[in-house]
Amino acid sequence: MKKENISKKILYWYDNNKRILPWRKTTSKKNKNYYTLVSEFMLQQTQVKTVIPYFENFIKKIPNLKKLSNVNDEQLMKCWQGLGYYSRARNLKKTAKKIFSNFKGNLPNNLKDLKTLPGIGDYTARAIMAIAFNMPVIPLDGNVERVLKRVFYLKKESEISKDNLNKKKSFFGVSKRSGDYVQAIMEIGALVCKPVSPSCSECPLSRNCISFKKNDFQIKSKNKFNKVKYFEARIYNNKDKYLLIINNEFNFLRNLLIFPMKEVKKDKFKSSIDHKVNIKMSNMDMKIILNKNNKRNKIKGGFMLDKNNINKIILPSFTKKIFETVSKHQ
């Protein structure tokens, strides 16, 4: 089948089945660029349905790039609170500032310049180029990968490599509606070509799909192993007040409030008789000893937070989970 026919089929399906998402609203070019930038940052490692209310609130409070570049950190984090991966929010503000200092307030429209902006890698840069600037590029996200793996029935490790999948993208061809086309392919992966129980009867690509013909929809995934790290969190409390510090030591949750903690060896974790908690980060499994036997004078800096005020300040979910565990085992 000709590639132009494939693009027509995909766009026809998209026009009749796409989700109504707030960042897809028809708006001015400048607003579209801003909406695309904010949504792509939020969608990094977070599902669409989770992002929607946060995006709407964020745009309401910080409606344009200029305000984002000047927003104070407290307000920024308040708008982001609950979405997690707070480094995205800090990078988003840094990106806004750099757009004004280096690009005269205009979001760059090319791969090289976009990738100089904090928090923007190859995928996000290509998504911005396609969606905001209607350029004929197709970013490779999990949804696009899944569609390609099924269409071509890719099962071997060599077949599912990034290099090979990028080559296979030529299957889609191009469209004059590049922004819509990219979102259409992603939408097929999200709504039709789902990881489990794909809806093949609704798929515009079923006739082209080898997996459909073989009736085999298992997806070959690369083996991913999270790093396992061990920590000791020092819990100091006095009359329902707990000591927290600003994290300047670890790369995760940098500049956010955490309990004082340090990395320890696996042997110490295993031998400890203190209560323990497991917390999953994006690429790390954290195993944490909750040590309640520390004296305040051994811990520099920080401030005491009343447990009744936990929801009144900006805390990462990581810290809240430790709070919950500590409260249960007092």
In this predicted structure, which of 3-7, 42-46, 121-125 has the lowest mean pLDDT? 3-7
83 in Cβ contact with 50 (< 8 Å)? yes
Is 263 catalytic? The answer is no
pLDDT at 293: 63
> pLDDT value at position 241?
85
The confidence score (pLDDT) of residue 37 equals: 97
**Helix runs in the chain, H state only:** 3-17, 29-42, 48-61, 65-70, 73-80, 87-103, 111-114, 122-133, 142-151, 162-168, 178-191, 210-214, 266-271, 317-328
Residue 54: pLDDT band with limits 50, 70, 90? very high
Is the pLDDT assigned to residue 1 strictly greater than 60? no
Catalytic residue from among 40, 145, 187, 232: 40
pLDDT at residue 297, rounded to an integer: 58
Distance CA 93, CA 44 (A): 15
3-139+175-190 CATH? 1.10.340.30
Domains in the chain: boundaries: 3-139+175-190, 227-328
- Confidence class for position 299, pLDDT limits 50, 70, 90: low
The pLDDT score that the predictor gives to residue 240 is 80
Three-class SS state of 1: coil
What burial class does residue 191 get, using C-beta atoms within 10 Å of its C-beta: 0-12 exposed, 13-18 middle, 19+ buried?
A: middle
| pLDDT score, position 30 | 85
**pTM confidence score:** 0.75
Average pLDDT, the chain: 88
Structure-token match 């757009």, residue found: 99
Is the domain spanning 227-328 CATH 3.30.2130.10? The answer is no
